[in-house]
């Protein structure tokens, strides 16, 4: 069993109430290897998320976490987690909502982790809202989401 959790480091956008990101897919990638007994390649990418979910990144600060995805995966070493995003909005303290232009809806997080047989394995990712939300200087104050996602040790 593997669980992927999501958290967020503090944000410095002082007038923002929430940053909502919809994640439509989570896929884990085993490291490339060949089973020496059968000489067959090990399984390829393993999808863990079956339906879209929206997360308020600002509700995930101060040690708070949300379960992003979970599922049964083969024991072994994994080298990457891939996230797909479809939508992002920012809500200000006055209640106004701003759509965030997503520069790339695909996020690859390089992380090596081991999944053991018969145990609950957990990986936590920090989706840093403060580093991810940026103002496009070439456009009239348009906000962009450039996802900054890192593994939490």
Q: 3-17, 22-36, 58-72, 84-98: which has the minimum mean pLDDT?
A: 3-17
Integer CA distances (angstroms), 95 to 18, 75, 128, 149, in order: 10, 46, 22, 27
Residue 121: pLDDT band (50, 70, 90) is very high
Picking from 147, 150, 151, 46, the residue whose alpha carbon sits closest to that of residue 87 is 147
Q: Is the pLDDT of residue 103 over 70?
A: yes
pTM recorded for the entire structure: 0.83
Half-sphere exposure at residue 130, Cβ-oriented, CA atoms within 13 angstroms = 12
Q: Is the pLDDT of residue 143 over 90?
A: no
Q: Is the pLDDT of residue 150 over 60?
A: yes
pLDDT tens, position by position, 19-66 = 999 999 999 999 876 555 555 556 789 999 878 999 999 999 888 999
CB 25 within 8 Å of CB 82: yes
Specify the number of domains making up the chain: 1
Q: Which is more confident, 34 or 109?
A: 109
| Paired strand residues for 113 | 78
Three-state SS for 81? strand
CB 81 within 8 Å of CB 111: yes
Instruction: Mark 14-51 as b/e (b = at least 16 C-beta within 10 Å).
Output: eebebbbbbbebbbbbbeeeeeeeeeeeeeeebebbee
Domain of residue 61 covers 2-151
Q: 87-96, 111-120, 132-141, 143-152: which has the minimum mean pLDDT?
A: 132-141
| Paired strand residues for 150 | 126
- Give pLDDT, residue 64: 93
């Amino acid at each position: 069993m593997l669980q992927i959790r999501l958290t967020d480091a503090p944000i410095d956008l002082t007038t923002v109430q929430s940053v909502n990101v919809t994640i439509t897919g989570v896929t884990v990638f085993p490291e490339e290897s060949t089973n020496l007994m059968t000489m067959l390649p090990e399984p390829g990418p393993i999808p863990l998320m079956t339906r879209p979910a929206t997360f308020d990144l600002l509700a995930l600060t101060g040690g708070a976490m949300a379960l992003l995805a979970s599922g049964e995966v083969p024991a072994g070493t994994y080298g990457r987690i891939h996230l797909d995003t479809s939508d992002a909005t920012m809500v200000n303290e006055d209640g106004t909502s701003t759509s965030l232009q997503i520069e790339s809806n695909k996020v690859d997080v390089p992380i090596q982790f081991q999944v053991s047989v018969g145990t609950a394995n957990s990986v936590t990712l920090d989706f840093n809202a403060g580093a991810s939300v940026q103002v496009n200087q070439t456009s009239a104050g348009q906000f962009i989401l450039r996802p900054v996602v890192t593994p939490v040790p």
